[in-house]
Amino acid sequence: MKLWPWKYLERHPQSHYTQLFVKGTRMRALSIYSMLVDVDPGDETTPEQIAADIHVPVEAVREAIAYVEADPPEIRADHQRETEHFQAWGVLDAEGNYLRGDLPKPCPQWPTPTSPQDRLEHIIAQAKLLDGAMTQGAWKYLEPHPMSNYEQLFIIGTRLRAEVIYAQVTDVDPADAPTPEEVAESMNLPVEAVREAIAYCESEPPGLLEDHRRQREDLQARGLMDAEGNYIRPPGRLSPEEEERLGLND
């Protein structure tokens, strides 16, 4: 695949990130790449399925994958800045290993009450308040996926796990944390579905925690995580066979 110029990727003018986004959205190329590689090995997905779920051209998904696989310096720079932030907030140790919890959580202690974290906590609190009456059996927009190994809930009619939506808000530079409305617009979802996904993950349901337990065991067996649940090294790049399967060799 020709790497430059990108047809579907561009810088986001209002973002602190220097890496590329899918044009006209707040979806980082890295987020799309994670939907492909950061999954249970039994839940392999395709660019076509991702494209259908987030309503973008499949070529945009393939471009995002190829862009991340090229290991551009701006992604490295963004990652370095995030690492420094997370270490300052007590989320990562000096070696870059995660220290707290199964799910990404707002750090309870930030330097000032007007920090970006306050905005992030407000977004999550708003979602929890709106969906506070929901229970795992009463979600309007979430359901188990009948063909998935994951026990956690998905956005109805898609292969989008609730925690993928949640990560759009929490697994970002806090200064860039989008609102549920912005996530909904970028992913072509009802804003209520985004709020439900946030509230669901914040409740730490047993199915989600069980998925994380199985994922930890898999990562430990592959030598990517230590016994305490800290990442030792990141997963490798896609193999030539994977690139062929995903249509990246055209």
And the tokens for 169? 């808000």
User: Per residue in 136-168, is it b (16+ CB within 10 Å) or e — as a string?
Assistant: eeebebbeebeebebebbbbeebbbbbbbbbbb
pLDDT at 102: 46
Between CA 90 and CA 78 the distance in angstroms is 18
| Of the candidates 116, 122, 165, 124, the residue with the CA atom closest to the CA atom of residue 16 | 116
- Identity of the amino acid at 231: Y
CA distance 27 to 174: 15
- The reported pLDDT for the residue numbered 61 is 94
Low-confidence stretches of the chain (pLDDT < 70) are 1-4, 41, 86, 89-93, 95-137, 174, 224, 229-250
The pLDDT assigned to 37 comes to: 75
